[in-house]
Structures are given as C-alpha cells and as structure tokens.
Amino acid sequence: MAGARGAAAAAASAGSSTSSGTPPPQEPGLGELLEEFSRTQYRAKDCSGTGGSRVERIEKRCLELFGRDYCYSVIQNVNGDICGHYPQHIVFLEYESSEKEKDTFQSTVQVSKLQDLVNRSKMARCRGRFVCPVILFKGKHICRSATLAGWGELYGRTGYNYIFSGGADDAWADSEDITEEDCALRSSDTHLFDKVRGYDIKLLRYLSVKYICDLMVENKKVKFGMNVTSSEKVDKAQRYADFTLLSIPYPGCEFFKEYKDRDYIAEGLIFNWKQDYVDAPLSIPEFLTCSLNIDWSQYQSWDLVQQTQNYLKLLLSIINSDGRAHPHVPEAR
C-alpha cells in the first residue's frame, strides 16, 4: 500500500545504491511494511497492543503515501468488522491529483452508500473478502476479491453471525429490507443466493465493473466433500450474465511450492492440467483476443513464464482499452 511516486522513488534509489555497495535508502515505513508482511499473518482484530501500534503506524504511513498521488475516501473496517483480512482503513482511490487540486477535491462516491453495499455483499464471497478496488489506472478501478461462497459457508456464516451477534445478523440487519417473507426465504438455497449475490452484483455495478477475470482452475472448489467456493461462470441462475466473464485458469498457491523447490526457476515449469479437480477450461471472448497474436489453444503447454506473460498481455490490453469499464479479478484461492 503505497503511492505510486513514493514506491517508485524507493525502487529507483534502491537500484542506484546497490551498485555502490551501500544499503539502499528507503521511504520511512515501506521497509517496515514489507518486513511485517513477510513475517506475520494480518488480522485486523489483532491490531492492539505493541503489535497493533506498529500496524497502525504502517497504515497511517500508507495513507500519507496514497495522499501524495490521489484523492481518496476510506471505508472503515475497525477491528475487522467488515473483513478480518482487510486493513482497518480500506482505501478507495477516486482519482489522481496534484497538490494544488487537493483543496478542490469533491468525492465521486457516496462513502456511506459504498460502506452499506460492502456490509451487505460481504457474505457472498469466501471469508467475507468482498469486491474491493485496489489499483486505479487511467480512471479505471482494478478490483480484487475472493471467489463466491458456496452454500456450506453461506449457511455456516449466517448461523455463526446470528448466534454471536445476539440474534442480529449484521448482513441482514436493516429493518427496511427484512420482512417476514425474507426470513422464511432463508430456508431456500435459491432465495438465499439471490439475496446475497444480488448485493454482490449491486456492489460490482456501483464500482462500474464490466469484466470479471476468473483465475480458478476448477469450477467449484471442494473441501471435505463440500463446495466451499464457486465461480461466477457456473452460477446456475446466470446472475452474472451481464458481466463479461473470462475464464483464465492459473495455478494456485499449492503449485508454487514446486516453483520454490526448483530454486525459483519458472522456465520449463508446467502445471499438470490432467489432475482430476481441474475442470475449468480457458474461455475468453474473441473480441478481447483478436489483436494479441497469441495461440490460446496451446495454453496447457505453456510453462509458468509464458503463461504469466500471456495472461498479463490480456489483462493489460483490457485495462488499456478505450472504454471505461473496470476489471475485477477474484483470487485464485
């Protein structure tokens, strides 16, 4: 989490200092952030005590760095109330700005509405990792999230929230929206998915998302015989049909153990596409590939380097397109 200029300056100075043998100077806080990231697992609710003060200091520094290049709003996630894996202050970059423009900043979003949509939609995705803008490029938001939650997690989490909130499920707590009919509909898978995924779609539309790039190598991820996550492209009700869905299967974190075991040499490292759980084929609308001069039918023969390069070419071409649609990339795992 750093402003583009701040991070670039740190990287540039690091490159120039290494050749002289002197330790590279760092932006205050960036080194601390990288060290914290590499050594500990982040949980927003653990941000208290000595460790918490360090996290708060890092987050404050990140906000300062964002402020160098952008005007932004903040979604509050104190104690991980929205998502325990996201920062306590979730940055929503609105547009690039110079120092002179800071005083004339007018928000392009209603933060209260955005926060409400986030609260309602968080149950639609695995571990509450809702759709969240993370990069702003030429006015376009690149978002990330987890994949869609399966029925097992949905029912498990609605029950957990109901019990531990004293009977009030925070994702459904607005009295204007909850009726006796809504309560009765919870007993039906279809109606529960309609409600929760409907809020997810409202958030996607509010963020002007048009493209959803799915990196899963399976249509549904199964744990202990239960579907725990699902891809938008296999939603039976076709709720996400209005978005342009790209299935670009990319190996998950388990595969990268092989990359580490090979001393981080990616050339010649090819994923085994014949494994039983791999059932998501590559599927990209032709209008997005016609100018790239890539033979996509050969994707299963690509090593990790070529696969990564070709996927990045595709994503960059979408981001650089003339339209103002915002791409969204759910995490592979």
pLDDT tens-place string over residues 34-60? 777 778 777 777 766 555 677 788 888
Amino acid at site 258: E
Q: What is the pLDDT of residue 182?
A: 40
Closest CA to 139 of 323, 328, 293: 323
Going from the C-alpha of 199 to that of each of 8, 141, 205, 312, the distances in angstroms are 37, 19, 10, 30
| pLDDT reading at 4 higher than 50 | no
Percent of the chain whose pLDDT exceeds 70: 70
Beta sheet of 220-223, edge-to-edge order: 148-149, 226-230, 220-223
Question: SS3 letters for the chain?
Answer: CCCHHHHHHHHHHHHHHHCCCCCCCCCCCHHHHHHHHHHCCCCHHHCCHHHHHHHHHHHHHHHHHHHHHEEEEEEECHHHCCCCCCCCEEEEEEEECCHHHHHHCCCCCCHHHHHHHHHHHHHHEHHHCCCEEEEEECCEEEEEECCEECHHHHHHHHHHHHHHCCCCCHHHCCCCCCCHHHHHHCCCHHHHHHHHHHHHHHHHHHCCEEEEEECCCCCEEEECCEEEEECHHHCCCCCCCCCEEEECCCCCHHHHHHHHHCCCCCCCCCCCCCCCCCCCCCECCHHHCCCCCCCHHHHHHCCHHHHHHHHHHHHHHHHCCCCCCEEEEECCC
Q: How far apart are CA 145 and CA 131, in angstroms?
A: 5
Average pLDDT, the chain: 76
Query: How high is the pLDDT of residue 110?
Result: 84
| Residue 89 · residue 60 · CB < 8 Å | no
Please, which pLDDT band fits residue 172 given cuts at 50, 70 and 90?
very low
Q: Is 153 inside any structural domain?
A: no
Inside any domain, residue 259: yes
Q: Between 289 and 8, name the one with better pLDDT.
A: 289
| pLDDT score recorded for residue 330 | 67
The mean per-residue pLDDT over the stretch 256-262 comes to 91
| 301 vs 13 pLDDT, higher one | 301
- 79, part of any domain: no
pLDDT tens column, 78-133: 888 888 888 888 999 988 887 666 666 677 778 889 889 998 888 888 888 899 89
- Out of 183-192, 203-212, 263-272, 296-305, least confident range: 183-192
- Provide the pLDDT confidence category of residue 322 given band limits of 50, 70 and 90: low
- Say which residue, 146 or 26, is predicted with more confidence: 146
Banded model confidence at residue 169, pLDDT cuts 50, 70, 90: very low
Res. 185 pLDDT band, cuts 50 70 90: very low
Question: Residue 102: which residues within 8 A CB-CB, separation 6 or more?
Answer: 67, 71
Q: Domain for residue 258, yes or no?
A: yes
Does the residue 99 lie in any domain? Answer: no
pLDDT digits (tens, 9 = 90+) for 274-313: 999 898 999 999 999 988 999 999 999 999 999 999 999 9
Q: Say whether pLDDT at 9 is over 50.
A: no
User: CA of 327: how far to CAs of 46, 131, 232, 289, in Å?
Assistant: 32, 11, 14, 16
Q: Is the pLDDT of residue 137 over 70?
A: yes
Give the model's pLDDT for residue 44.
76
Whether 244 is covered by a domain: the verdict is yes
Helices 189-206/151-164 angle, 10° precision: 90
**Which domain range does residue 231 map to?**
210-321
Q: Residue 9's CB: how many other CB atoms inside 10 A?
A: 17
295 is a domain residue: yes
pLDDT of residue 309: 97
Q: Locate tokens 């390069």: which residue?
A: 309
Please state the domain count of the chain.
1
The lowest-confidence range among 221-235, 239-253, 294-308 is 221-235
Model confidence band, residue 2 (pLDDT cutoffs 50, 70, 90) = very low
Whether the per-residue pLDDT at 208 is higher than 70: the answer is yes
Categorize the per-residue pLDDT at 229 as very low, low, confident or very high, splitting at 50, 70 and 90: low
* Assigned domain for 265 exists: yes
pTM value is 0.73
Residues 328 and 131: beta-carbon distance below 8 Å: yes
Q: 280 and 231 in contact (C-beta within 8 Å)?
A: yes
Does position 249 have pLDDT exceeding 90, yes or no? yes
**Residue 109: which of 208, 198, 250 has the closest Cα?**
208
Specify the pLDDT at position 161: 45
Which tokens go with 171?
């994702």
